[in-house]
Structure 1
Amino acid sequence: MKLSLSAVVLSCLCCFVLTSHAEINIKKCQPNQNDYIIFDEYDSNIAEKIIDFKLHNQPEKRESSIIKIFANENNDDRNDWIASFLFDDQSEQYLFYQVDQDNFVEVDKKQFEALLPKIVECNPNKQVPIYSENFDED
């Protein structure tokens, strides 16, 4: 009896561990063919949605946090967004958002560092966010 209970617990634990890191699929980006970047009201609404999801309408926290949001600079191919939040206490949090699935995924620093190069692969300057707040390179 103890062996079968142990097997059930172990299999549940393995299942939980395997599903704790969500599988994130990012399609290969298409480069921006223009000499300029389009960031319109639609994109602004997505950036606000990402910030609101993370900060839950906390204006004082928003004002004191460094927020960087990255996406493909080609507005025709801007489905995957990733954001970093640096708070007053120097803690960091990361969030991935896919527009077509309207899906938010909390990611850790390691996942952020793995996803970011894929998302900005087609951008000429991969270090500059498409949207930021309280960040010097605005």
Structure 2
Amino acid sequence: MKLNQYVAILFSLLLFIPNSQAEINLKQCKIYKMNYIIFDESDSQIVENIIDHQLYNQPDIRENTVIKIFTNDNSEDRNYWLASFQLKDQNYLYLFYQVDENKFTNINQQQFETLLPKIVGCNANQEIPIYSENFYTD
């Protein structure tokens, strides 16, 4: 009888252990049917905020980091931004940014790979970031 009680207690405790991965729910993107992509000053400010947040405004690190930032091609539907940073030592950092909440979330590679198709799913070319730096370096 005590074994059943211990199993029940253990099961109850497992239900209350918080999940270590960030829970991120995204709204479906709006399809963009234009042949061009708008990248304006507000987008540029968002990109700089993302880079500064992750690299802490360190130009020497930024210069040697491959940065790729993704969002929806539709300029009216750019609430979610996703960034990958490949550092000089070949380590990767990933960041999710939600504009309407001004919220940055550090994520792991698995979360990045899960979120990327959801964010760029409506883009004409889903593999090309909306912004990149040092992407074509030798």
Q: TM-score normalised by the shorter chain: which range applies?
A: 0.7 to 0.9
CA distances 1:27-62 after superposition (whole Å, capped 9, x unpaired): 100011322100000000000000000000110000
Percent identity of equivalent pairs: 54
Q: How many residues align?
A: 129
Structure 1 partner of 2:118:
118
Q: Equivalent residue for 2:17?
A: 15
Shift of 1:25: 1.1
Matches within 5 A, 1:121-136: 121-136=121-136
Specify the code of the residue in structure 2 equivalent to 1:67: I
Q: Name the aligned partner's letter for residue 82 of structure 2.
A: I
Residues 47-82 of structure 1 deviation map (CA, whole Å, 9 limit, x = unaligned): 000000000011000000000000000000011000
Listed as ranges, the gaps of 5+ residues in structure 1 are 1-6
Provide the secondary structure at the position in 2 that maps to 1:25: coil
Are 1:101 and 2:101 matched, yes or no? yes
CA RMSD of aligned residues (A): 2.1
**2: CA distance between counterparts of 1:114 and 1:87?**
21
Residue segments in structure 2 that go unaligned for 5+ positions in a row: 1-8
Using structure 2 for the length normalisation, give the TM-score.
0.86
Aligned to 2:53, the other structure's residue is in SS state helix
Give the Cα–Cα distance (whole angstroms) in 2 for the partners of residues 124 and 35 of structure 1: 9
Shift >3 Å, 4+ stretches: none
Q: What residue number does 1:3 align with?
A: none
For 1:35, give the aligned amino acid. Answer: N
Q: Which residue number in structure 1 is paired with residue 58 of structure 2?
A: 58
Q: State the secondary structure of the residue aligned to 2:51.
A: helix
Alpha-carbon distance in structure 1 between the residues aligned to 2:13 and 2:49: 37
Residue of structure 2 equivalent to 1:48:
48
Structure 1 counterpart of 2:52, one-letter code: D
